[in-house]
C-alpha cells in the first residue's frame, strides 16, 4: 500500500509496534478484569465459564448478553477488531489471528442521539477527517444513530479502539424522512481518492462519497428490479475481488442481507457481481436482473461484513449465525448467539457464471488435533462412523454412483436400541443440496433447506465445521456454503452416513478434533 494512501501513516508503524505486545490472555484474566470506577462501560462478566451447554468453543460469543450484527470490522496494528450489536451498542473484541478472541469493554454506548446501530470502521491514517490531534490519525467508526430517525454518525479513537469520542457535528448524514436508512459500510476508493459509503435505503442501496468522512454527497442507487425484494435490505458491503485469482480480471461484489419474510422462511442474504467506477455499481448484464444469488444456502448467516485492510490483500468476512425469524430465541444462558467462523472470499467461474466462494480462514488450522483418515468404503442406509465429538472439522469426498440420496449425519444421538433419535443431516437428495435439522433437537428450530445441486463428476465434496451448536458446510471448495444453528436436546456426539439407491462410496474422509479457543 503506497504512502500516499490516506489510510496509512508513520503512526501506523508505531501502533503496529505497540500491537506486538497485545496477546490473547487467558479467559480468566480477561473476565476478572475490573473497569475503573469512573468508566461507565461494563466489563465482561466474571461469572462466565465458556463451558455452558451449547456454548461454542471455536466461534466468538460474548461472555453474556445478546449478540447480533458484526460491526466495524477492521484490521489495524496487528489486531483484528470485531465489534458487534448488543442491545443497540457496539460490543468489542480483538484478536491477533481472527481465531482467539479477547473481549473488551463496550466501545459505543447509547448517547443523546439514541442507539449506536450497525456500521463500519476505517483507519483514517492520514487524518483526512481532522478529528485527531496529530498527523497519525486513528480509527473512525461510522454507525447509525436513531434519535429523530435513522441517520449516520461518527465516533473516533486514537488508542487502538479502546476509547471513543463522538463527533460533535453528528449526524453527518441526517435523516430526511426516510423510514429505513441504516448500516453504513465505508471504504477508501483509491481511483477517485475519496471515501465511499454503501448504506441501506429500504430495499435499495445508496452510495455516498466524502473526502473527509464528515461531509457526504449522494452518488447513486442500486437495487430496483434486481434480486430479492421480499423484505428490507440491510448491512450492505461493497468490495473488489479477482476472478479465478487473475489480477487482470477484477469485479466488484455488492452483498446485502434481506430481512425476515414468509418468502424465505425468515431472513436471508444475497449478492450481486458487477462493476463499480467510484460512482455507480452496475450488475453484470449477463445475469438476468431477477436472479437471486444467495450468500449462504443455510438458515443462519446474516449481516455479514468484510474486514477493511485485512493482511496480504485478503477479503475476510464474518456473519451473525442467526435469523430474524427467531433472533433471540436460542435456549442459551448467559449469552445468546454467535458469530460464524471468519471466511476468506473469492470469485470463481462455475458453469460459466462468476460466483462468490467462501472458505474457512487457514488460521483455524491452529486448532486442529491429530487427524484420523478413513479410506474407500461403501455407504449403506446406516453406516456408523468411528468418530464422536461436538467440536470438529471434517473433509470428505463421496462418489454418488447412482444414489438418489446420500448424506452425512452429524451431532447425532441414538436410543438404547441404537435407533437414531436426533441428528443434523447434510448431503445430496435427488438433485438438491440439503441441510436438514428437523431432527436436530430443540423445538422451534426445525427446518429443511435445499437448493439445486449436481455433484461435479458424480463426486460430493464437503468441508464441514461442527461446533457445540452450529454446522457450517462448504461444498465443492466453497461454491456453495450453508450455515445452521442447532441445539441438541441429548448429548449428540455421533456421526454416520446414510444413502438410498445406487452404490455410493466414500472416496476419502478426514476428521480433526478442534481445540477450544477459550481454554
Cα(466)–Cα(68) distance, integer angstroms = 20
Distances (CA, A) of 507 to 378, 435, 440, 455: 9, 21, 27, 14
Contacts of 438 (CB under 8 A, 6+ apart): 446, 447, 448
Asked if 319 contacts 339 with a C-beta cutoff of 8 angstroms, the reply is: yes
Cα(140)–Cα(129) distance, integer angstroms = 9
Cα(273)–Cα(288) distance, integer angstroms = 12
Per-residue cell: 277 = 467506477
Contacts of 387 (CB under 8 A, 6+ apart): 372, 495, 511
Q: Which of 5, 39, 69, 284 is catalytic?
A: 69
Per-residue cell: 315 = 477479503
Secondary structure element (H or E) that encloses residue 510, with its range: strand 505-513
**For the chain, what is the radius of gyration of the CA atoms?**
23
Asked if 333 contacts 288 with a C-beta cutoff of 8 angstroms, the reply is: no
Cα(508)–Cα(517) distance, integer angstroms = 28
Beta-bridge partner residues of 296: none
Per-position b or e across 338-353, b if 16+ CB within 10 A of its CB: bbbbbbbbbbbeeeee
SS3 455: coil
Cα(215)–Cα(452) distance, integer angstroms = 46
Q: What angle do CA 460, 385, 506 make, to 5 degrees?
A: 30
Beta-bridge partner residues of 90: 85, 108
Per-residue cell: 31 = 473476565
Asked if 409 contacts 420 with a C-beta cutoff of 8 angstroms, the reply is: yes
Cα(324)–Cα(107) distance, integer angstroms = 24
Asked if 87 contacts 10 with a C-beta cutoff of 8 angstroms, the reply is: no
Beta-bridge partner residues of 204: 201
69 in active site: yes
Distances (CA, A) of 24 to 12, 19, 68, 492: 21, 12, 23, 31
Nearest residue to 306 via CA among 73, 61, 84 = 73
Per-residue cell: 420 = 437414531
Beta-bridge partner residues of 139: 123, 157
Residues noted as catalytic: 69
Amino acid at each position: 500500500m503506497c504512502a500516499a494512501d490516506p489510510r496509512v501513516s508513520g503512526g501506523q508503524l508505531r501502533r503496529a509496534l505497540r500491537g506486538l505486545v497485545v496477546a490473547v490472555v487467558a479467559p480468566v484474566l480477561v473476565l476478572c478484569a475490573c473497569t475503573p470506577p469512573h468508566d461507565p462501560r461494563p466489563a465482561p462478566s466474571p461469572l462466565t465459564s465458556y463451558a455452558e451447554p451449547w456454548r461454542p468453543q471455536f466461534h466468538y460469543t460474548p461472555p453474556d448478553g445478546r449478540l447480533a450484527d458484526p460491526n466495524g470490522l477492521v484490521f489495524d496494528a496487528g489486531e483484528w477488531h470485531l465489534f458487534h450489536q448488543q442491545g443497540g451498542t457496539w460490543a468489542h473484541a480483538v484478536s491477533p489471528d481472527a481465531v482467539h478472541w479477547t473481549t473488551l469493554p463496550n466501545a459505543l454506548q447509547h448517547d443523546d442521539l439514541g442507539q449506536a446501530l450497525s456500521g463500519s470502521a476505517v483507519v483514517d491514517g492520514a487524518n483526512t477527517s481532522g478529528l485527531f490531534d496529530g498527523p497519525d490519525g486513528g480509527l473512525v467508526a461510522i454507525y447509525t444513530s436513531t434519535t429523530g430517525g435513522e441517520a449516520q454518525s461518527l465516533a473516533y479513537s486514537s488508542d487502538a479502539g479502546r476509547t471513543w469520542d463522538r463527533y460533535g457535528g453528528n449526524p453527518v448524514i441526517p435523516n430526511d424522512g426516510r423510514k429505513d436508512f441504516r448500516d453504513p459500510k465505508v471504504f477508501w476508493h483509491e481511483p477517485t481518492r475519496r471515501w465511499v459509503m454503501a448504506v441501506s435505503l429500504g430495499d435499495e442501496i445508496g452510495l455516498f462519497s466524502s473526502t473527509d468522512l464528515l461531509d457526504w454527497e449522494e452518488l447513486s442507487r442500486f437495487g430496483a428490479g434486481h434480486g430479492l425484494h421480499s423484505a428490507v435490505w440491510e448491512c450492505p458491503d461493497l468490495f473488489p475481488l479477482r476472478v479465478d485469482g487473475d489480477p487482470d480480471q477484477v469485479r466488484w461484489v455488492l452483498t446485502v442481507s434481506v430481512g425476515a419474510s414468509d418468502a424465505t422462511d425468515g431472513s436471508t442474504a444475497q449478492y450481486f457481481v458487477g462493476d463499480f467506477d467510484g460512482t455507480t455499481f452496475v450488475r453484470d448484464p449477463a445475469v438476468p436482473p431477477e436472479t437471486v444469488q444467495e450468500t449462504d444456502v443455510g438458515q443462519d448467516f446474516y449481516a455479514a461484513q468484510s474486514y477493511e485492510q485485512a493482511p496480504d490483500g485478503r477479503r475476510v468476512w464474518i456473519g451473525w449465525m442467526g435469523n430474524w425469524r427467531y433472533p433471540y430465541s436460542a435456549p442459551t444462558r448467559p449469552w445468546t448467539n454467535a458469530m460464524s467462523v471468519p471466511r476468506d472470499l473469492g470469485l470463481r467461474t462455475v458453469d460459466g457464471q462468476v460466483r462468490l466462494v467462501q472458505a474457512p480462514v487457514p488460521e483455524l488450522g491452529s486448532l486442529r488435533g491429530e487427524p484420523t483418515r478413513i479410506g474407500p468404503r461403501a455407504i449403506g442406509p446406516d453406516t456408523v462412523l468411528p468418530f464422536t465429538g461436538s467440536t470438529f472439522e471434517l473433509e470428505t469426498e463421496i462418489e454418488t454412483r447412482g444414489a438418489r440420496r446420500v448424506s452425512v449425519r452429524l451431532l447425532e444421538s441414538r436410543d438404547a436400541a441404537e435407533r437414531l433419535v436426533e441428528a443434523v443431516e447434510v448431503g445430496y437428495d435427488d438433485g438438491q443440496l440439503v441441510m436438514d435439522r428437523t431432527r436436530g433437537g430443540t423445538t422451534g428450530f426445525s427446518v429443511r433447506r435445499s437448493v439445486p445441486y449436481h455433484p461435479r463428476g458424480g463426486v460430493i465434496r464437503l468441508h464441514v465445521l461442527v461446533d457445540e451448536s452450529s454446522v457450517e458446510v462448504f461444498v465443492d471448495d466453497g461454491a456453495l456454503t450453508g450455515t445452521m444453528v442447532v441445539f441438541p436436546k441429548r448429548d449428540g456426539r455421533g456421526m454416520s452416513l446414510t444413502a438410498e439407491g445406487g452404490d455410493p462410496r466414500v472416496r476419502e474422509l478426514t476428521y480433526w478434533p478442534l481445540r477450544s479457543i477459550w481454554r
